[in-house]
Chains A and B, each alone.
Chain A
Amino acid sequence: DVQLEESGGGLIQPGGSLRLSCAASGFTVSSNYMSWVRQSPGKGLEWVSVIYSGGSTYYADSVKGRFTISRDKPKNMLHLQMNSLGVEDTAIYYCAGGRDAYNPGAWGYWGQGTLVTVSS
């Protein structure tokens, strides 16, 4: 069974930094196309970033230059380093695994999400 479990969310002041993590089991992070997707409270879904198995990374314009996606191969984990956080970054953050190499943006595996609240 595939399991993805996010951690690292919490309350942070505007301008602060936070690092989210996603631990995977039954699924190899480094061999797959892993994304972060967020959902503001009561709102729709927004793709944040992807890291390809080859290491290429892409970001939404709203987070480019502030967020960095990475992975830890030995620990089979995915990370999202978030800097210069603003209130608009308040959301539930999900890690999600791409279905396959031909459909990297179709996420068949999701974690339960971790809530990030940016507030003073």
Chain B
Amino acid sequence: DIQMTQSPSTLSASVGDRVTITCRASQTISTWLAWYQQKPGKAPKLLIYKASILESGVPSGFSGSGSGTEFTLTISSLQPEDFATYYCQQYNGYPWTFGQGTKVEFK
């Protein structure tokens, strides 16, 4: 199985901060990577797919980059509604697997 490792597990930040979350795959996955945002009690929401393509309706302050085994999700200026847990997920090979999540909390 392809292991996905996110860092950090928790991130303390303030409104307006630039935030970067890293996701590493245990083997190359090309750009078959998605990023999701999840808020408590809610289903995940797709933010980015194919590593860098912004899902329709997602604010342009979110961006994704990377290929192979190293990927990043960047929030250019953290907004109050962005405090949530973020997951990366690979869909290069079965089983499709998620990172353990990164919780972005108030500093």
Contact = CB atoms under 8 A, between A and B. Distances in A.
Nearest to A63: B95
A99 B100 contact: no
B95 A105 contact: no
Contact of A47 (B55, B96, B100): B96
Give the size category of B's interface with A: 20 to 34
A27 interface: no
Contacts of B99: 44
Interface string B12-40: 00000000000000000000101010100
Interface residues of A, number: 24
Contacts of A47: 89, 95-98
How would you classify the secondary structure of chain B's contact residues: helix, strand, loop or mixed?
loop
B49 to A, nearest CB: 4
B43 A94 contact: yes
Contact of B46 (A59, A60, A107, A113): A107
B101 A44 contact: yes
A94 B1 CA distance: 22
Contacts, number: 63
A103 B91 contact: yes
B50 A105 contact: no
Contacts of A35: 96
A106 B91 contact: yes
A102 to B, nearest CB: 8
A60 B95 contact: yes
Contacts of A110: 43-45
16 contacts: A44-B99, A45-B36, A45-B38, A45-B101, A50-B96, A60-B95, A94-B43, A99-B49, A99-B55, A103-B91, A104-B91, A105-B34, A106-B89, A106-B91, A107-B46, A110-B44
Interface of A: 35, 37, 44-47, 50, 58-61, 94, 99, 102-108, 110-113
Interface of B: 1, 32, 34, 36, 38, 43-46, 49-50, 55, 87, 89-91, 94-101
